[in-house]
Amino acid sequence: MLNFKKITAAAVCCVLFTAFASGCGDDSKKSAKEEKTGVVNYTAPKEGEEIAVLTIKDHGDIKIKLFPDEAEKGVENFTGLAEKGYYDNLIFHRVIKDFMIQGGDPLGNGKGGESIWGDKFDGGTSKNLIHTAGAVAYANSGSTSTNGSQFYIVTGTKYEEADLTQMAEYYNMTLSDEAKEMYTTDGGTPWLDGGYTVFGQVFDGLDIVFDLQNAATDSSDKPETDIVIEKISIEKYNGEDVKFHMSDYK
């Protein structure tokens, strides 16, 4: 029997994300059927490569590896907005423990935001990027064609392989052995694969993300104390150590 205790957040997601312009629409079952091979989430950036650095007030920096080869428009939008200061002083307006932290809305309530092009855009999906812990993706309202400025960083939970097998059957998904290994070892939100544009992966500061998910929130999952993104800067990777896994921080 499917372990619904571990995937309760999936049902919660489909309510919260739809209600606040970041939905779990039917498109989540389309790309997810593709065979996932060659997952690249844990690919280290190369020296001189552009990375994103989120400076979180009172917490520190979260560094993100970007994947322009897998999510060209998604990366272009994120870097473009960051470079014009769009994200400066915005908040993470939705935090759900064992699921994700979400920000990038100038209204601060999940109902706002636009792309660098002034409207929504379609970032598509890549079978090589999955929702493992630390993955960065755009929120949407039913399909990847409704991407704007809002993004989320996955925390998720760990799964037993049997749970993943049953989940794949339940959601009509295909999970490669590589993806299953990531979801059992590092955790994530596998039911979101194929429905959202994943464009980045935290490679330093994952401990900060996991700390932020513990924030006290109100009934709308908004932190009672603002979690402020002071700025997002696009910088050149200088070769520092990468820490993709929570075990790297112990």
- Under DSSP, the state recorded for 212 is H
Answer whether residue 109 is part of any domain. Answer: yes
Instruction: Flag whether pLDDT at 25 surpasses 90.
Output: no
Answer whether residue 242 is part of any domain. Answer: no
The rounded distance, in Å, linking the Cα atoms of 45 and 68 is 12
pLDDT tens digits for 188-209? 999 999 999 999 999 999 999 9
Domain of 187?
A: 4-237
pTM for the complete prediction?
0.89
The CATH number covering residue 219 comes to: 2.40.100.10
Res 145: pLDDT: 97
Res 9: pLDDT: 53
Answer whether residue 244 is part of any domain. Answer: no
Confidence tier at 84 by pLDDT (50, 70, 90): very high
pLDDT tens digits for 171-188? 888 999 999 999 999 999
Specify the range with the lowest mean pLDDT, choosing from 22-26, 75-79, 203-207, 236-240.
Answer: 22-26
Nearest to 71 by CA among 234, 197, 201, 194: 197
Name the amino acid, one letter, at 189.
T
Answer whether residue 246 is part of any domain. Answer: no
The rounded distance, in Å, linking the Cα atoms of 84 and 196 is 24
Contacts of 72 (CB under 8 A, 6+ apart): none
- Under DSSP, the state recorded for 109 is S
Beta carbons of 205 and 62 less than 8 angstroms apart: yes
Answer whether residue 83 is part of any domain. Answer: yes
Answer whether residue 129 is part of any domain. Answer: yes
Res 250: pLDDT: 80
pLDDT tens digits for 96-141? 999 999 999 999 999 999 999 999 999 999 999 999 999 999 999 9
Instruction: Flag whether pLDDT at 165 surpasses 90.
Output: yes
Nearest to 13 by CA among 129, 80, 100: 100
Res 2: pLDDT: 46
Structural domain count of the chain: 1
Instruction: Flag whether pLDDT at 238 surpasses 70.
Output: yes
The rounded distance, in Å, linking the Cα atoms of 187 and 155 is 7
Res 188: pLDDT: 98
Answer whether residue 243 is part of any domain. Answer: no
- Pairing relation of β-strands 100-103 and 151-154? antiparallel
Confidence tier at 33 by pLDDT (50, 70, 90): very low
